[in-house]
Structure 1
Amino acid sequence: MRNIRAIESGQVTSPRQATVRLLATAFRLEGLDRKRFYAAIAEPAPIPTGGVALLAGRSIPAQLPGDVSHFVGREDQLHELDALLEPPGDAGTGTVIVTVGGTAGVGKTALAVHWAHRAAERFPDGQLYVNLRGFDRDDEVVDPADAIRGFLDVLGVEPHQVPTERDAQATLYRSLSAGLRLLMILDNARDSDQVRPLLAGGPAVRTVVTSRNRLTALVAEVGARPLVLDLPDQAEAAALLHRRIGVGSQDDDATEAIVAVCGRQPLALALVAARIRQTGFPLATVAAELRHPSSAALDGVWVVFSWSYRVLDPFAARLFRLLGLTAGVDIGTDAVTALAGVTGEEARRTLRELTDASLLTEHAPGRYHLPGLLRVYAAQLAHRTDTEEDRRAALTRLLDHYTYTAYQADRVLNPTRAPIPMGSGVAADGTGPAAPPDVGAALAWLAAERAVLLSTLRQARDAGLDRHAWQLGWALDSFLYEHRHWHDEGAAWAVALRAATALMDRQAVAHAHRFLGVVAGRLDRFAEAHDHMRRAVEMSRAAGDRPGEAETEYVLSYVCWLQADHERALHHAQRSLALWVALDHPVWEGKASNAVGWYHAQLGAPHLALPYHERAVALQRRAGDRANEAVAHDALGRANHNLGYHEAAAEHYDHGLRLARDLADPILEAQLNSHLGDTYQAIGDSASARERWEEAYKALMNAGHPLVGDVARKLQTVWGSNSRWSPRIEAP
């Protein structure tokens, strides 16, 4: 009855996944019918927000890279793009699309981004940008489904309302964008197949796609307007060079010679201009250098690349080569420090030299991007110049940095999770990365580095650095789970499984199977989930790993709960508990006891749950595990709440809160405050409930945690469904 009232009052706007599974099972739905049932319940309403709750306090997306400061020319092409701003004709109801094609380095991205900045104010609902990396290595090309998930995040969809199936995510994306006035830049696309799923359907959306290919299929299928970008003419190329140089000589003969050697390539001209600004050399001197016989074997842009590289000091030249070995789309200053094995100050000084030389772009504060052609050139230099040992050492340092930092971030986000061995805890260069100072910093670092970390994970696999691949896959799990990046989570664990197998580490293999089973369960692939769990049990038994077998039973109970089979979930939790009792492991015994109590409560027997939660509290206290003790108090509070013992519930929540504050764990504290607010609301003390919920909201908002929307909806019920209350709490 309480759940029905919550739905009717608007406190609950969508059913829980476990409830949906129970209904599907009760209706005996299987296969396609079951999927259609899920899709029908998850389908958003046909309004701009689709009935989907967007994150409270979300900002309008503004993802454009920085504008090109020395942009010149391209007036005809800019006028063509300006035509996008005009309303479509009477028959036009779909999105308006322009494809910008042209050879590498011709300035496609510069044109698209420069125009987008000019037009940005005409798109009040935001500007979306994604680098599709269409001409990187095959495993680095952006999957359209990953880009869609990123768009859902920036559009403010709460993680728990992102559908599991990727087709449903695409449907939600199209529904959300249909009524918005958005500008989209889809940069560096490989082909029409990569672009097609990303096209929004609303008439107020304007989309610019850049690619080295013509994307003829988009022109034929959706009426995209093709814009072919050729090299700038001689006058435009000269103007670009002079604009970038600034005040100085206007030697026409030297300018003509430089433009000719650069093949009128904008990127090459930018490098030459950077060299002139740095040295102050006259144009004639630079033109003479470019005609040097040692460059005769090269032509066009490659001449300029080699010329710019040769004038770097040895430290900058080495860093440039090493950056060509990295897998991510960009790299942060701390990661550069690890890659080069230098101090932070040395790294920043060298990065300044590379950016001053236009060999590297600082596209956001402290984040650097190596353009595609320069990346290829840098990698070629590294393989010609640096020994295999030196390249391996640099990659190991970088992976040490990413792996240990991700691991420490996970320990901050999920302190109740059992840790794994991490060796010495210091990087190959003898330094240890600084741990993120708090939950907010950990979440921010993982959010900024997610794509890079997934690319680096695959690089570790390909390079045979299996220990790093296994540990990094483990370290990403909590973040990917909390933000419902479940396909990424599965991909990470698949790499971890392969790495653990290569290491012949049976315990690690079993662990990977366990979590691949969990991911499969979250994606409703239960046959696959149970197959992974069976393999985990077999591997643990073959290794004589009784704790691994007990943990597998514990995880298997969760998979059964995902399947809405609470009886089997309780059975496996009880088996796990018996194994941990025999092993005399109080922390895990407490966790298993807590799980048994939880499943009793799920089966409608909170009175049977109480003794198991009380046992868990005692065990965690004995073990000195305050984080898990606080979790057990939270569970005990909920069991008492469900029995109507509100005073006892409040006492347990308060006890858990004291532990959470001692641990400086704002997320655990927010969870307890949220539940304590529920108890106050149940006894009619709305003022106290609001106070607790506001504390929880503030902590979650400041940390950027995805659960903030749940608490925002609770606060909305206190203020009234007709109020204009919109929670906005700024981070200090």
Structure 2
Amino acid sequence: MNGAEVDVGPARQRGVLAALVVDLNRVVPVEQLADRVWGDRTPPRARAALHSYVSRLRKALSPAPEVKIVRRSAGYSLMADESVADIHRFRDLCDRALGSGGGDGLQLLGTALRLWRGAALADLNTGWADSERRRLDHERHAAETAYTELRLRGGHHAELVAELSVRWEEHPTDERVAGQLMTALYRCGRQADALDVYERVRTQLREELGADTSPVLGRLHQQILDGKLDQPGERLPVHDRFPVPHQLAAQPRGFVGRAEELAHLTDMSADTGDSGEPMVISVITGPGGIGKTWLALRWAHERIDRFPDGQVQACLRGFDAVQQPLRPATALRGILTALGVAPEAIPDDVDTRSALYRSLLAGKRMLVFLDDARDVSQVRPLLPGSGSCTVLITSRHRLTDLVSSDGARVLSLDVFSEQEGRELLARRLGANRLTSEPRAVSELLGHCHGVPLTLGIVAARATAQAQLPLDVLVSELRDAATFRPESRTDVLTASLRSVVSSSCVTLTPCAATLFALLGLAPGPSVSTHAAASLAALPLAEARACLRELQEANLALQPVPDRYRMHDLINAVAAERASREIPETLRTAAERRVADFYLHTAAAGQRLLNPHRPGVTFGAPADGCLPRPALDPAGAVAWFEAESDCLLATQELAVRRRWHTTVWQLAWTLTPFQRWCGNHYDNVAVWRHGLAATEELGDLALRARAHRWLGHAYARAGESARGLSHLRRACALAERTADPVDRAYGQHTLSLVWGWQGEDDRAVECARRAERLFAVLGNPIWQAEALNTLGWYEGRLGRYDDARAHCARALALNEQHGYADGQAHALDSLGYIAYRGGRFTEALDYYHRALTVRRDLGDRYGEATTLASLGDVYAALGQRPEAYAAWHKALDLHLSRQCLAEAREIQRSLSLGDPVHAGP
């Protein structure tokens, strides 16, 4: 301790400490602790003996006050920072290595493996210790395998041959080790020996397991046969589930000029391609409307073949006049989804998301385009760690910190030259028209000040009215230019304002009003249905007005049925709304669009969670046209498309002090946010929701808001805050005597206690919740509580009670046709049977659960059930069936980039033993 050894007593006492270390900072119930230390030989006075051991351990640990053993109601907990325990340091280093690459990953794994100094839990000889040793051996073996792969990439094949030969003899059916040995032998010039290893592995798999080699090992074998195996430093064959995203917006039409800038960008990125080299970052900077995004997209599309592994794009909204800049965590969620990561597999915190993102991009030749960045803090979590990637950033700031710390190269973009401006107008209007009115063209160019955005609007106006002399357009611009600018930035803004004003004069009255109202719309873009509600228009008329704005270059349609405006144009639209539309009409428009999002979301959440306690909504405002989804898949798609707009709508409601809308939006968003694992957004919406219920003064609403916020905090990893809110929810529910709130408060507490490892407390709360739900007469709610109760009883080893409660839950769900509840209950019964050693029974339950999950299209649930099936087959000694189930589960998890789950299954496949908690 603190560098010195401390005597913690005899073997049994050391075993108590080890049993607590494994579950550091979690409560280990007294019965479980006794089982871990003595197993089947637990003495009659085990509690007294444990108390004595703990007292002596506290005395031995007293020189380190930061490490202490505390007594809880259900058992004991060893409280300390995870860095003090080798087992937790080892896991942390391995997880960090997963998010790193090259030298960092090699160093982290090497440090992790050096922590091993012998057999784990050597002082304990119990069933629990044997199972835990196997689990730790699996983790050690997986780390050794990953460490070896990095060393192979680094060209250390010669020194690895002997080491891998020994490891392969210990694990003759481990295809990963066999593949590494084959690679090392081949690179040492021993092709025949490498091929011999493959034949021996194939023979052994057939004879012992009745299985064939995997496609990965087969491809490696073929590469060795052909003499075309990769060289050191290149990637080894892996399970290829990486999608190739193509997120770049469309190439700009009518692009002109910028030849020098395009060449400069190419020179700036010339060093890209070597993952061992520093990453190349190019920043295009300049004022708004100058054409930064236009230039970036043109360059990227012209060199698309340089990025065979894909292109990702994130609009960061750094200078949006209405919306807040996009948070890095939100941007990463979108990018990870594009990279194939399933919503439930995306980590909660930004650092872990960033690490996963860097891991997925390691060695890939990809373009990362970050558009409209605010500052370096917004950009840094979005930078890949591999020099093989190209990063292209646009910003109105120069991002000088990125230049000094990361060697970013900056291209400052200026306005068009007069020649480039003429070229743009000629491309749009035709050379003959420019030749016929040279004076008007010169004045038009003077009004536009070389700003591409302004020139584009003028060209769109002149094109739409081809019969209109350019002199008329010049006259209108002259009349609109009433602002006298004092700075260069003001010149550009004034130019755009006058051009937009003159374009609005030519719009139909309906389109002109919609343009102004779009300046009030919440979110970065708007659908046709939302625009129709905003302006109280029939859908067909709204669509026609949006097309008119698109033709005038005042709005863009990046994807079908979705429109957005440049942030500078959006600011002009908001100014016009403030100046030309009375306050009462502006408020009515905002009310309609808020009701559109609220009522559409309310219908969608009912499809996602049909048995959720209902909320009564008032009628939507006159002129609002909600768009309910037809099925759950449609609801998810709508929530995904409108996620940013929904959050912005709640912010609008907060500003307007529409307290009921604020909390109801939080309520409607919760099922989707939980489904996609977006717990931090769920916390944010319920913080607003709680504040709104406090303003309304409704105790019952406050109780629910505290409960929902508590659940959100707990899911986001902030259990202490979550429990605080849940306790207040339960106290308020007692004051209001609302039976539903009381029941759900206890049920939510049960889940949170269980997430903390407090299984005894989880059981107590689940039991209270079940009794309350039974009185309410809602069988689905009661079944949910029964299943929760049975699950935690099973974790505590109370198998008879657990089986009875989950069987009742299954019967209720079957009786009332709730398939999702059936799947959960069947999975719980399978787990309980497996933990209790009733393997044949477990197989039956898991197979039934698998059928239901497949019928529901629940691919994540199907994968977890298949993994559990593999564990049961392994326990029965049916290795081929176990391997088949694990392989199917692995395919499903990898197809959705659920990497943590895939890693667990890989360990099962490597050693042929289950990694889940066994009997």
Q: If the TM-score is normalised by the length of the shorter chain, which range does it land in?
A: 0.7 to 0.9
Q: Please tell me whether the aligned partners of residues 351 and 381 of structure 2 are also in contact (alpha carbons under 8 angstroms).
A: no
Structure whose alpha-carbon radius of gyration is higher:
2
Equivalent in the alignment of 2:541: 346
Secondary structure of the structure 2 residue equivalent to 1:140: coil
1:289 aligned onto 2:475: yes
Take 1:689 and 1:602, find their aligned partners in 2: how far apart are those partners? 26
Deviations 1:106-135 (A, max 9, x none): 111111121111122201222222121112
Counterpart pick for 1:508 among 691, 701, 717: 701
Q: In the alignment, which residue of structure 1 is the partner of 2:418?
A: 234
Is this contact kept in 1: 2:528–2:561, CA < 8 A? yes
Q: Which residue of 2 aligns with 1:10?
A: none
Most deviating of 367-376 and 33-42: 33-42
Which residue of the partner structure matches residue 258 of structure 1?
A: 444
Say whether residues 1:423 and 2:617 are aligned partners. yes
The 1:60/1:246 distance shift into structure 2, 3 A limit, reads farther
- Equivalent-residue separation in structure 2 for 1:337 and 1:713 (angstroms): 49
Residues 414 and 66 of structure 1: CA distance in aligned 2, closer, same or farther (over 3 Å): same
Partner of 2:398: 214
TM-superposition CA deviations, 1:294-326 (whole Å, max 9, x none): 544574221111001111101111111111112
Query: What is the deviation of 1:292?
Result: 4.8
Relative distance call for 1:517 and 1:670 in structure 2 (3 A) is closer
1:265-302 deviation digits (Å, cap 9, x = unpaired): 11111111111111113553344433553544574221
2: CA distance between counterparts of 1:425 and 1:652? 46
1:316/1:706 Cα in 2 relative to 1: closer, same or farther (>3 Å)? Answer: farther
Alignment of 1:700-719 (within 5 A): none
Contiguous gaps of at least 5 residues in structure 2: 1-19, 29-76, 106-145, 147-237, 485-493, 912-919
> 1:638: how far off?
4.2
TM-superposition CA deviations, 1:42-101 (whole Å, max 9, x none): 3243448988xx998552122211111111001111111011341269999321122222
Mean Cα deviation higher: 422-431 or 301-310: 422-431
Cα gap change, 1:40 to 1:657, in 2 (>3 Å): closer
> Aligned in 2, Cα 1:648/1:201: closer, same or farther, shift over 3 Å?
closer
Tell me which amino acid in the other structure corresponds to 2:586: R
Q: Given residue 476 of structure 2, which amino acid in structure 1 is its aligned partner?
A: L
* Residues 121-177 of structure 1: CA deviation (Å, up to 9, x unaligned): 201222222121112258611222332333333233444554443323333333443
**Equivalent residue number for residue 86 of structure 1:** 270
Choose the corresponding residue for 1:383, options 578, 593, 603. 578
Distance in 1 (alpha carbons) for counterparts of 2:826 and 2:272: 60
- Root-mean-square deviation (CA, aligned residues, Å) is 3.9
Task: For CA contacts below 8 A with separation 6 or more, give which structure has more relative contact order.
Answer: 1
| Structure 1 residue 365 displacement after superposition | 1.9
Deviation of 1:368 (Å):
1.2
Cα distance change on mapping 1:156 and 1:22 into 2, 3 Å: farther
Q: Which residue of structure 1 lines up, in the alignment, with residue 792 of structure 2?
A: 599
Q: Of 433, 444, 448, which aligns to 2:627?
A: 433
Alignment partners' CA distance in 1, 2:694 and 2:286:
44
1:320, 1:55 → 2: CA distance? Answer: 50
Given that 1:482 and 1:706 are in contact with CA atoms closer than 8 Å, whether structure 2 keeps it comes out as: no
**CA offsets per residue over residues 650-691 of structure 1, 9 Å max, x none?**
666677788889xx7433x98469637854872759679969
Report what 1:729 is aligned to: none
Separation in structure 2 between the aligned mates of residue 458 and residue 496 of structure 1, nearest angstrom? 11
Alignment of 1:40 onto 2:93:
yes
3-state SS, counterpart of residue 558 of structure 2: strand
- Find the aligned partners of 2:384 and 2:251 in 1 and give their Cα distance: 24
In the alignment, is residue 273 of structure 1 matched against residue 459 of structure 2?
Answer: yes
Tell me, in whole angstroms, the C-alpha distance in 2 between the residues paired with 1:91 and 1:130: 23
Q: Does 1:328 align with 2:523?
A: yes
What percent of counterpart residues are identical? 33
Please state how far the C-alpha of 1:413 moved relative to its aligned partner: 3.0
Q: Does 1:675 align with 2:865?
A: yes
* TM-score of the two chains, using structure 1 as the length reference: 0.84
**Which amino acid is the alignment partner of residue 389 of structure 1?**
T
Structure 2 length-normalised TM: 0.68
Q: 1:190 to 1:37 in 2, by over 3 A?
A: same
Q: Distance in 1 between matches of 2:899 and 2:585?
A: 46
Is the CA contact 1:329–1:369 (under 8 Å) kept in the aligned structure 2? Answer: yes
Please, which of 543, 547, 558 is the counterpart of residue 736 of structure 2? 543
Q: Is the counterpart of residue 28 in structure 1 residue 71 in structure 2?
A: no
Q: Residues 428 and 540 (structure 1 numbering): CA distance in 2 closer, same or farther, change over 3 Å?
A: farther
Tell me the secondary structure at the aligned position of residue 571 of structure 1.
helix
Distance (Å, rounded) in 2 between the aligned partners of 1:64 and 1:91: 23
Residue matched to 2:857: 666
Higher deviation after alignment, 386-395 or 364-373: 386-395
Are the equivalent residues in 1 in contact too, given 2:350–2:381 (CA < 8 A)? Answer: no
Aligned-partner SS, 1:300: helix
What is the rounded CA distance, in whole Å, between the counterparts of 1:342 and 1:351 in structure 2?
Answer: 12
Deviations 1:695-726 (A, max 9, x none): 9989x99xx98879969997x999x889xxxx
2:243 counterpart SS class? coil
3-state secondary structure, aligned to 1:106: coil
2:280 maps to which of 83, 96, 120: 96
Residue aligning to 1:6: none
From 533, 540, 556, the counterpart of 2:749: 556
- 1:155 alignment partner AA: L
Distance in 1 (alpha carbons) for counterparts of 2:592 and 2:91: 45
Q: What code does the residue aligned with 1:190 have?
A: R
State the Cα distance separating 1:223 from its structure 2 match: 2.1
1:454-493 Cα deviation digits (max 9, x unpaired): 2222222222222222122222223322332222221122
Whole-angstrom distance in 1 between the partners of 2:278 and 2:525: 34
- Give, in whole Å, the separation in 2 of the partners of 1:399 and 1:158: 30
Cα gap change, 1:426 to 1:100, in 2 (>3 Å):
same
Does the C-alpha gap of structure 1 residues 261 and 543 become closer, same or farther in structure 2, counting only changes over 3 Å? same
8 Å Cα contact 2:268-2:409 kept in structure 1: no
Change (3 A) 1:98 1:596: same
Cα distance in 1 for partners of 2:760, 2:423 equals 75
Who is 2:248 aligned against?
64
Does the 8 Å contact 1:396/1:428 carry over to 2? no
Q: State how far apart, in whole Å, the 2-side matches of 1:421 and 1:553 are.
A: 20
* Conserved 8 A contact 1:641-1:679: no
| 1:358 aligned to which of 531, 536, 553 | 553
- Say which is worse superposed, 671-680 or 218-227, in terms of deviation: 671-680
Amino acid at match of 1:80: H
Instruction: State how far apart, in whole Å, the 2-side matches of 1:90 and 1:677 are.
Output: 38
Q: Is the 8 A contact 2:683 2:709 kept in 1?
A: yes
Specify whether residues 276 and 23 from structure 1 end up closer, same or farther in structure 2 by C-alpha distance, changes over 3 A only.
same
The runs of 4+ residues in structure 1 deviating greater than 6 Å are 34-38, 48-51, 88-92, 653-661, 685-698, 704-709, 711-714
The worse-fitting range, judged by mean Cα deviation, of 160-169 and 539-548 is: 160-169
Return the letter of the residue paired with 1:171.
A
1:374-415 superposed Cα distances (whole Å, 9 cap, x missing partner): 100111111222222322222222222222333333333334
Q: Aligned pair in 2 of structure 1 residues 487, 285: CA closer, same or farther (>3 Å)? A: same
| Structure 2 residue corresponding to 1:318, chosen from 502, 506, 513 | 513
State the one-letter code of the partner of 2:366: L
Q: Which runs of 5+ in 1 are unaligned?
A: 1-18, 723-732
| 2:301 alignment partner in structure 1 | 117
